């Protein structure tokens, strides 16, 4: 009888395995490092775009091409807004000692999933005005100098490629958001 009870007890114990706190701590630390690494790459890319855009604004102002200077300034402003949003919406939450590891990791997953789901608004959205202004400025500059069809063809393909790239970025982020939401659900149900 005792052997049967032990076998039954061990069988239930196996299916209700306890997650070790160290494992949760390691998962949390690993996830936080991933978030920080992603954000550092984003900050560096944004700094590079700003570092290249600001001199272009000055160049366009100096040659009297103010439309393009304003367009490039909009691009730089969009990047600054994206970086600010990245810090505000998608940075890792500060770990508080009074919050258990599991709760903290769950909150991290949910925060990042929410940020990734809203990428079209806070990441792509601020870039759209500057990008469209660049294309519009080039198109308006070409009016009267080139056939209308040539303007549409020569700007349409790069514009479509740019918008397709933005769509791809949105798709990647929505896919990542779904995966994080699934991880959060699994952790919540464990």
What does the alpha-carbon distance between residue 2 and residue 6 come to, in Å, rounded to a whole number? 6
> How does residue 96 score in pLDDT terms, banded at 50, 70 and 90?
confident
Please report the pLDDT score of residue 76 as a whole number.
Answer: 98
Confidence (pLDDT) at 25: 67
For residue 133 the two structure tokens come to 């202004």
- Which residues make beta-bridge pairs with 143? 146
Collapse the DSSP code of 143 into the 3-class scheme (helix H, G, I; strand E, B; otherwise coil) and give the result.
strand
pLDDT confidence tier of residue 104, bands split at 50, 70 and 90:
confident
How far is 112 from 119, CA to CA, in rounded Å?
11
Calpha distance 153→150 (Å, rounded): 5
Burial class of residue 63 (count of CB atoms within 10 Å of its CB; 0-12, 13-18, 19+) = exposed
Distance CA 185, CA 80 (A): 33
Q: Are 130 and 74 in contact (CB under 8 A)?
A: yes
CA distance 106 to 116: 15
Mean pLDDT score, 148-166 = 93
Q: Where are the domains positioned within the chain?
A: 21-189
2 vs 72, which has greater pLDDT?
72
User: What tens digit of pLDDT does each residue of 14-30 get?
Assistant: 455 445 656 666 667 88
* pLDDT over threshold 80, residue 177: yes
pLDDT at 3 (0 to 100): 59
| Mean pLDDT of the chain, nearest integer | 88
Angstrom distance (rounded) from CA 121 to CA 124: 6
User: Is the per-residue pLDDT at 9 higher than 80?
Assistant: no
| Phi then psi dihedrals of residue 38, to 5 deg | -60, -45
Tens-digit pLDDT profile for residues 127-155 = 999 999 999 999 999 888 989 889 888 99
With both helix axes pointing from N to C terminus, report the angle between 148-189 and 128-142 in degrees, rounded to the nearest 10: 170
First to last CA, the chain: 31
Cα 125 to the center of its chain, rounded Å: 12
Residue whose C-alpha is closest to residue 155's, from 169, 170, 168, 136: 136
**Residue matched to tokens 């500059």:** 141
């Amino acid at each position: 009888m005792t052997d049967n009870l032990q076998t039954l007890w061990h069988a239930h114990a196996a299916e209700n395995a306890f997650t070790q706190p160290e494992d949760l701590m390691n998962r949390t630390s690993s996830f936080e490092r991933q978030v920080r690494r992603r954000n550092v790459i984003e900050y560096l890319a944004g700094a590079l775009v700003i570092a290249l855009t600001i001199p272009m604004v000055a160049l366009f102002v100096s040659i009297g091409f103010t439309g393009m200077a304003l367009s490039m300034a909009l691009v730089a402003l969009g990047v600054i807004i994206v970086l600010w949003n990245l810090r505000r919406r998608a940075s890792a939450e500060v770990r508080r000692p009074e919050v258990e590891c599991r709760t903290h990791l769950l909150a991290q997953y949910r925060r990042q999933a929410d940020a990734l789901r809203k990428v079209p608004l806070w990441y792509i959205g601020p870039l759209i005005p500057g990008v469209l202004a660049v294309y519009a400025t080039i198109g308006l500059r070409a009016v009267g100098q080139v056939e209308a069809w040539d303007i549409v063809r020569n700007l349409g393909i790069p514009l479509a490629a740019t918008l397709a790239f933005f769509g791809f970025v949105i798709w990647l982020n929505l896919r990542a958001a779904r995966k994080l939401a699934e991880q959060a659900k699994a952790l919540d149900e464990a």
